[in-house]
Chains A and B, each alone.
Chain A
């Protein structure tokens, strides 16, 4: 695929698509969209390149914010933290950085590399490390497929940059989270230095384009007076190679939650209207992980579970679910890269403490 340059017209679609792929998590893309719109208005050039355009030995790094969604709405983005992190990473690399890649396409972080690209002039690879969003940074495909997280750079608004020289992926995740708390529950992380070869093998390809496409599909389908979901599902299958299931069309009947190890953990119940209607329960840990019906799992991670407004199909994040919302719960097939036995050990239901195995929603059609 050809390179493309980000335009203002792409932003609303990108934000919608990132929210859909966020599986209920990943934070609000609004702030990133606002900043990108302002940057483009000032003449910033942001180039998105296909993974196929990288040479085997090109070096790229994974970028994204780590922290509480709640902090990210008060301590907004500061250019300096992004530039300082990328510059510090550059000093540890054997050759000039060629490009940036998103750790997760879901939510706010799906748009962060575009901001970093606009600030540094580096192109952004049309791919990401999860194909969605997950709670932990070591649930990225690069960790799953054996790449080192280090050197990892954590940077903050003062321009300070902390380098973690070595350590296992889960150890680095723990240290980064502790640093994030010390820096005000928000920091910028640059990690997983990868070669072009690694990216082609182990990144989920073309997810920036995909997010933009999904956003356009949602907008088009929402205008379908007959059956918006059918229109969306058809378009995702035919144009994006994604299987899509409607789990339930109903009303949010309740949401329970608490915190566990720094994550927002809980469940929400969606019920069909009328007595005797089906009910689906959604478990979440920041992201929606499992959809249950009558005590049996309907759909589970790594497939994407998204709760959308019944009429507009706009995704609703797990922390914004409220009693009485009319919603559709839909499932999107995960990319093959996140469905291998190796990936499932890290992001399948058992990795989140459930005692059942993953069963894909797709009948083999959505094999992106």
Chain B
């Protein structure tokens, strides 16, 4: 199936047309403040270049930072009422308690704590109280709030109380958008609840944005399904993204790593994306970015959900090279590289200039760096190698040498030989790796659950079957589903030999 991948970045919107894994056409166009117009422009440019082949595209897959930017910029968010099923437990730390005050004032409509939630062994902390829930739902309807986030203690383990809350909300306030924490987050009530609240706060923006994307596709005359890429390198349907915009938060680095995997055909490697100001280093495992285990702050809010584990180093094409003593960065001329860099006619010595002096790339006027002493060039190459080698060592998940995939506009700065690396692969189309990653994203299913009194093998088998079912429900072709990641943790203190099992599977988009 032919597919179009679009990466909406801070500066450029990149678009590619793919046939299977083959890149047919690529374009770059400037990102516009109005995301829809940017997509329309990119599609028009792609159609102009690719011609009638474009009509065969069955899917448009978009990676966007629009939602995370809304949180970071405190713009375009709607108010939220948080309902937590926990009483009598967990009462001292109510929803929003650890939010930055500016964001809390913008988002918090109301917080309601109700009896419910579960113990770690699956018992009810308290019975679900239909009457109190009904009162709460009526209060929410009267408030006129647009969205509600529902959380419950140990809901990833047993979600039935959250589901009953959703039923009541559907009945008494049918026009309110409802996010359940069990659908998005991991263990850790506050962090999972924060994810749910952020998601609910994006409800209106997600509706408007996905509608805009659909219109942009329709206006281009394409008959293609719309998908959005999510943090873990897989896609979801526009309908699913509308319900779960938080899952799109980190699609930038994810798509560049996935794109590198596809363009190189290598699925276990280190990926380094060298941009203008920074380099992102991540680890590909089975073709997917390794996930961060810990807490991730988004716009000052503590969250815990699927995010790629990416190390950011201060090395980019625009990184300044200081003299006396020689020092690399950490400051960068950024997007002004083509104006200020020496080889472009400016007078600032940058990493790009040193890369050209070292003969790593033919960019601009090489004679403008002819005066750089060879000792400086050698120092620069050693400094870059040392910085990258340290970063690579911290990012690796196992001992031994592994391949490195070099992508991004500044990837020529990566030396062809590095410690801990078996070979450095410079991939074709590396400057649109993000859009390629978007175009080839798969559909996933995930399970993160506690099993008691069950053997390890049985627990993993049960979790895998459930994850496959979730992937199928999300639109994956059943025959293509593969297991991406299995993680099992025996748990301290718990009775009955408990373990927490997390399984992720992914498959190709099913043809309609």
Choose from B93, B293, B396, B490 the contact partner of A77 (Cβ within 8 Å). B93
| Interface window among A321-329, A330-338, A343-351, A358-366 | A321-329
Contact B120 A68 (CB under 8 A): yes
A159 touches B88 (CB 8 A): yes
Could you tell me if A73 and B494 are in contact, using CB atoms closer than 8 angstroms? no
The number of residues on chain B lying at the interface, defined by a beta carbon within 8 Å of a beta carbon of chain A, is: 40
| Given known contacts A34-B93, A74-B188, A68 and B493 CB-to-CB distance under 8 angstroms | yes
Interface SS majority for chain B: loop
Closest to A259 in B: B490
B407 to chain A, nearest CB (A): 21
Beta-carbon contact of B89 and A320 below 8 Å: no
A181 within 8 Å of B (CB atoms):
yes
Q: A159-B88, A185-B493 are in contact. Are A76 and B187 (CB under 8 A)?
A: no
Q: Are the CB atoms of A320 and B294 closer together than 8 Å?
A: yes
Known: A157-B88, A323-B398. A74 touches B154 (CB 8 A): yes
Interface residues in A273-319 (C-beta closer than 8 Å to B): 273, 286, 319
Q: Specify which of A31, A35, A158 lies most central, judged by the most chain B CB atoms within 10 Å of its CB.
A: A31
Q: How far is the CA of A262 from the CA of B495 in the complex (A)?
A: 8
CA A158 to CA B126, docked complex, whole Å: 10
If the complex has contacts A184-B125, A251-B393, are A70 and B120 also in contact, measured as CB distance less than 8 A? Answer: yes
Instruction: For the complex, give the distance between the alpha carbons of A80 and B397 in Å.
Output: 44
Q: Is B97 an interface residue (CB 8 A)?
A: yes
Bound CA–CA A320/B393 (angstroms): 18
In the complex where A68-B120, A251-B394, A324-B394 touch, is A78 in contact with B90 (Cβ < 8 A)? Answer: yes
A264 to B491, CA, bound (A): 7
B117 to chain A, nearest CB (A): 8
Bound CA span A247–B207, Å? 55
Give which listed residue, B97, B398, B493, contacts A71 with CB less than 8 A. B493
Report if A257 contacts B (CB, 8 A). Answer: yes
Q: A71-B493, A257-B490 are in contact. Are A35 and B397 (CB under 8 A)?
A: no
Knowing that A79-B91, A324-B394 are A-B contacts, what are 14 other residue pairs whose CB atoms are under 8 Å apart, sorted by A's residue number? A31-B93, A34-B93, A68-B492, A75-B90, A75-B189, A157-B89, A159-B88, A181-B493, A181-B495, A184-B123, A185-B493, A263-B493, A320-B293, A325-B394
Q: List 29 A-B contacts (CB under 8 A).
A: A31-B190, A34-B93, A35-B92, A35-B93, A38-B93, A38-B97, A67-B493, A68-B120, A68-B491, A69-B492, A74-B187, A74-B188, A75-B153, A76-B86, A76-B90, A76-B189, A77-B93, A78-B88, A80-B88, A157-B88, A157-B89, A159-B88, A180-B493, A184-B121, A185-B494, A251-B393, A263-B492, A324-B394, A324-B395
Report which A residues bind B (CB closer than 8 A).
Answer: 30-31, 34-35, 38, 67-71, 73-80, 115, 157-159, 180-181, 184-185, 251, 253, 257-259, 262-264, 273, 286, 319-320, 322-326
